[in-house]
């Protein structure tokens, strides 16, 4: 009975795959929370999610409407589908015995997808010729201002672009497949 209580008395914290990225407050807060959890003596499972595929899919409509895609980044993210995360978290909760205590998992998609990759995917899916513009951060700021992005949202957008530009986002993990027995969806799927 004590084994069952130990399994059930476990904190599951949803973090971010690049939690240890310096110089960005949102991620530093995730890292600080992870460090705190590790010091208080609880059994824990830290789940670091990558960026959601659906965020990019939602942005695709704007790109299609404008006919132009702007980015200052060039490296890839291993975007993860929300449906894969739901399936994985359900598995964690339904079968806690499969998960080791005091473990950190990275939940990512199966491949790195660059801005050029998902731009090409948009063109393939829509059969529409679009324009890809790799621009400086200054021009990216001007573009975001021109489409009415708030200062707060712009800081987040540029933060992800900076992380992508430096390559710190290039994390791929097979943790979803190991925990669920099923490979996560690719961006194209």
Q: Directed axis angle between helix 151-166 and helix 137-146, to 10°? A: 150
DSSP for residue 133: E
The pLDDT value recorded for residue 24 is 64
Which residues of the chain are under the pLDDT cut of 70?
1-9, 21-26
The pLDDT value recorded for residue 6 is 52
The pLDDT value recorded for residue 26 is 66
Q: CA torsion, points 2, 91, 170, 26, in degrees to nearest 10?
A: -70
The pLDDT value recorded for residue 22 is 60
The pLDDT value recorded for residue 12 is 87
The pLDDT value recorded for residue 188 is 86
Cβ burial of 110 (10 Å; 0-12, 13-18, 19+) is: buried
Report the 10 Å Cβ neighbour count for 99: 17
| pLDDT tens digits, one per residue of 52-71 | 998 877 778 888 888 988 88
The pLDDT value recorded for residue 5 is 47
């Amino acid at each position: 009975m004590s084994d069952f209580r130990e399994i059930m008395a476990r904190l599951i914290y949803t973090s971010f795959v690049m939690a240890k990225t310096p110089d960005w407050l949102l991620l530093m807060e995730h890292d600080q929370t992870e460090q705190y959890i590790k010091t208080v003596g609880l059994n824990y499972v830290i789940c670091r999610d990558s960026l959601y595929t659906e965020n990019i899919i939602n942005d695709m409509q704007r790109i299609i409407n404008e006919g132009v895609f702007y980015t200052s980044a060039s490296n890839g993210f291993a975007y993860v589908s929300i449906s894969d995360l739901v399936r994985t978290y359900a598995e964690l909760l339904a079968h806690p015995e499969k998960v080791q205590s005091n473990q950190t998992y990275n939940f990512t998609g199966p491949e790195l997808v660059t801005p050029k990759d998902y731009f090409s995917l948009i063109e393939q899916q829509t059969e529409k010729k679009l324009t890809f513009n790799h621009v400086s951060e200054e021009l990216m700021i001007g573009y975001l201002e021109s489409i009415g992005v708030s200062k707060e949202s712009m800081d987040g957008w540029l933060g992800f672009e900076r992380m992508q530009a430096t390559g710190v986002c290039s994390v791929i993990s097979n943790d979803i497949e190991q925990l669920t027995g099923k490979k996560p969806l690719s961006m194209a799927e």
